[in-house]
Amino acid sequence: MFSLPLRDNALLRPLEIWHAEEFAAHMDRAREHIRPWVGVKFVTDDVDGARATLRRYAERQAADGARIYGIWLDGVLVGGVMFVDFDSVSGSCEIGCWLEPAAEGHGLVTEACRTLLEWAFTSRGVHRAEWHCRADNGRSSAVAKRLGMTLEGVRREYWPYGGTRYDKEMWAVLAPEWRAHRQ
């Protein structure tokens, strides 16, 4: 298994089925914080749910699709990043993230997303990478901006949560823009 350093005390590693108990414990710390911002199927309530989520990603990765990676800070799983969608045939992907409150403000998500994008653009030849978030999630929009993405549009009242419908922003960066941005 690989492990990539993000900072002195932070690592990015594949998040696999055998991490289910650790992922469930992390979800206990993160659940209410991330629930408004991530997909309903992602937020799990127990070890079986965590295992099912990780299994879905493992199956999709085996088919050259979505992938999920954890961020460990001081040896503790505190969040992660993923290819929500990955389509090598069309040359496009969507990345996403989540983080528990104690790990915010360290640049971990931005650095981890850079790692995913670099791999997608240089190793896999992806042409377009997308980022979707609720329009009122300023922290998420800020990550997209730091990654050199352009806001391409807003889907009005697209995101249902808690009886209210929220606007959804769609950001993207193209391979030539990525190469220019990283220099």
126 in Cβ contact with 88 (< 8 Å): yes
**Number of structural domains found in the chain:** 1
Per the DSSP assignment, residues forming a β-bridge with 166 are 159
Can you tell me the distance from the alpha carbon of 70 to that of 148, in angstroms, rounded to the nearest whole number?
Answer: 23
Q: Which domain holds residue 86?
A: 4-182
- The strand ranges marked E within the chain are 4-7, 10-14, 67-73, 76-87, 92-99, 128-134, 150-161, 164-174
What is the domain-level CATH number for residue 46?
3.40.630.30
DSSP 15: -
Q: CA–CA separation, 108 vs 121, rounded Å?
A: 20
Q: What's the pLDDT at 57?
A: 96
Question: Positive or negative CA dihedral for 142, 147, 151, 152?
Answer: negative
Phi-psi region of 23 (alpha: psi -120 to 50; beta: other; left: phi over 0): alpha
Does the reported pTM lie above 0.75? yes
Tens digit of pLDDT at every position of the chain (183 positions): 689 999 889 999 999 999 999 999 999 999 999 998 998 888 889 999 999 999 999 999 999 999 999 999 999 999 999 999 999 999 999 999 999 999 999 899 999 999 999 999 999 999 999 999 999 999 999 999 999 999 999 999 999 999 999 999 999 999 999 999 887
Q: What is the pLDDT of residue 1?
A: 61
Are the CB atoms for 17 and 24 separated by under 8 Å? no
| DSSP character string of 117-150 | HHIIIIIS---EEEEEEETT-HHHHHHHHHTT-E
CB neighbourhood size of 25 (10 A): 15
